[in-house]
Structure 1
């Protein structure tokens, strides 16, 4: 693919290739696949070689190229360390807290230039549904998908969810396509082997290996932060590509890296597959996702706070403030309340509550279990529509 390679290299020089990554899916009950092609299944790694996994999964990995207008390329380019990606401020704070310098920023394309952004993705249904990161296609005026065999096809955006950084595309292939299957990211353990597949720098589909370095990384970018940290090398262009386990199943979506020099230093972040799977199914079915909110500021319950208010365990979400006119205000929530259950599910941390609320559709009614003045009480609440970074 020399033509593609030259074009992608030019895109990288323009700073158009992104450093954040992908998602993959198997057949979904929300979508009936018309064209039947068997989902590829890789055998467990044997003899120290990942070749069986790669031969099974690689045909379903694609390259996603987008055309970005000059004003979008300059102002909205989705580089995660450029000061304008949805993750930038959170990455800056995260690495500042760790005493690590932020990486250098790439130069922006000049006004009037036509930039191309490069990412990766997965075929998730035989009739042409593909999943990638939202930041790969954000603000794009045109999207092209290149299949593993080199076939290039125009793609249509089916739907996107910026909060989860996920997007679903659709192409019209001439024959049923190979797909990959979902794995169980919740079963991943620190130290497990993983493979990252994508198209770094536009040089062609590339496979790198590593291990799970950490689980549950919270970069403070939103209620869905639960990143898998990996040391498998990923670079510009890997965004939207799959992270697969020893069975060849997708357990993560390569989404971001920390790099002080623009290249991989073994610190990558992936969206867990169990988180992405539901989002993708909804986007394939409805084309969009509405997130809920209740209108509170919350913080952790420390041991000292728990002792002071008579809670047996330092768990739950402490209400630090209630926004006027919100569902929380209408329900009568007050600063100082501790929410320890939502809809019957226990709330052990503020992140638990944020995710539970965000996962609900506006208009849904639930009951909160609230600890107030030494007593537990149930508070009914109707979920509102999230129009920003509310919770």
Structure 2
């Protein structure tokens, strides 16, 4: 039986790299004939190795089945040393990694590709997307890489992962995008890129590059029966990471919109009764008192079919659409109530920060 390894479970953690400080490329490299050597030589200096001490093993972000197994086998509050990867995104030393790499850490040390070590400050961390932003102070401009647009990537496109699997620094693996928009039940905003590029323990927080040398994902999780790569890895898309990092760099937190409802999927039976070809929408199970949803007039049993132009095919469509809104922003909803469609307007609230 396979186990899902995400967040603070033993997944990918780590990574440092190569040589010569150069910035990320802007032109695409020709890959198959000449290999990835030019790309790696260019981007590797911006990938770093992260060591964490004084952390405690956290289980709150794991799927329930994995959490129970983890808690049986390990003391929940035992100190640990952790390893992870990260990548520099600015010449002044901002570094992106995974939340689960640095969660609970007392000390975070970053090692550059030339062996230089720095104590890192955690600017902010977002458990919901498993993204964290660090900062180091150096006396020189640092090599960095840039984000690409993950939305433009297609299934079958070539990708390269750089990291520190099992402590083997400067390791490079390649593969393709196997799927997009994967929901692996790791969190409310799952939208992972799936890849067969080998990702192992030590890769967490490291970059997934397209063959132009742009970061199109942050390697975060694997599915594996024994903890090693079997060709099923997951990366947080760069379009998500870019927004989270911008929010974290502002004040160390991520602000998300809040509606104030509990939701469940539409059942096949309900879809058949309503004459739908397939299930869709989000069925309201409960409306929080004094919430934006209550003020807007949403009721238990309502089915939200569209939220401000986003068609709701699955529950995460609504979760992500609401979270993307700014507090006090107005939105309209298409709601099915007792077989009749209606439009409701809502003023979005502020989602309380998640516990880490």
TM above 0.5: yes
Distance 1:229 1:104 in 2: 28
1:89 aligned to which of 40, 57, 64? 64
CA displacement at 1:302 relative to structure 2: 5.4
Structure 1 280/389 Cα, relative in aligned 2: closer, same or farther at 3 Å?
Answer: closer
Matched, 1:323 2:288: yes
Q: Please name the residue that 2:170 is paired with.
A: 205
CA displacement at 1:163 relative to structure 2: 0.6
Q: How does 1:211-250 map to 2 (within 5 A)?
A: 211-250=176-215
CA displacement at 1:255 relative to structure 2: 0.2
Structure 1 44/282 Cα, relative in aligned 2: closer, same or farther at 3 Å?
Answer: farther
Structure 1 58/85 Cα, relative in aligned 2: closer, same or farther at 3 Å?
Answer: farther
For normalisation by structure 2, the TM-score amounts to 0.85
CA displacement at 1:299 relative to structure 2: 3.0
SS of 1:280's partner is helix
SS of 1:368's partner is strand
Distance 2:263 2:153 in 1: 29
Distance 2:9 2:40 in 1: 24
Distance 1:237 1:106 in 2: 21
Which whole-Å deviations, capped at 9, do the CAs of 1:24-63 have from their partners, x for residues lacking one?
Answer: xxxxxxxxxxxxx854446231514111111111011001
Give yes or no for contact 2:14–2:164 (8 Å, CA) kept in 1: no
Q: How does 1:60-71 map to 2 (within 5 A)?
A: 60-69=46-55
Give yes or no for contact 2:14–2:202 (8 Å, CA) kept in 1: no
Q: Please name the residue that 1:49 is paired with.
A: 35
Distance 1:53 1:39 in 2: 9
2:142 aligned to which of 177, 180, 184? 177
Distance 2:231 2:287 in 1: 41
Give yes or no for contact 1:21–1:256 (8 Å, CA) kept in 2: no
2:156 aligned to which of 183, 187, 191? 191
Distance 1:382 1:259 in 2: 43
Structure 1 91/280 Cα, relative in aligned 2: closer, same or farther at 3 Å?
Answer: farther
Distance 2:273 2:220 in 1: 41
Give yes or no for contact 1:90–1:219 (8 Å, CA) kept in 2: no
Give yes or no for contact 1:21–1:270 (8 Å, CA) kept in 2: no
Structure 1 51/66 Cα, relative in aligned 2: closer, same or farther at 3 Å?
Answer: same
Q: Please name the residue that 2:261 is paired with.
A: 296
For normalisation by structure 1, the TM-score amounts to 0.78
1:59 aligned to which of 45, 48, 54? 45
CA displacement at 1:108 relative to structure 2: 5.7
CA displacement at 1:265 relative to structure 2: 1.9
SS of 2:106's partner is strand
From the two aligned structures, give the one with the greater strand fraction. Answer: 2
In the alignment, structure 2 segments of 5+ residues that lack a partner are: 1-7, 16-21
Which whole-Å deviations, capped at 9, do the CAs of 1:90-135 have from their partners, x for residues lacking one?
Answer: 7689xxxxxxxx8999756995xx6321000010001110000011
CA displacement at 1:332 relative to structure 2: 1.7
Distance 1:105 1:251 in 2: 36
Structure 1 326/268 Cα, relative in aligned 2: closer, same or farther at 3 Å?
Answer: same
CA displacement at 1:304 relative to structure 2: 4.7
Q: Please name the residue that 2:92 is paired with.
A: 127
Give yes or no for contact 1:226–1:272 (8 Å, CA) kept in 2: yes
Q: How does 1:325-344 map to 2 (within 5 A)?
A: 325-344=290-309
Distance 1:128 1:222 in 2: 29
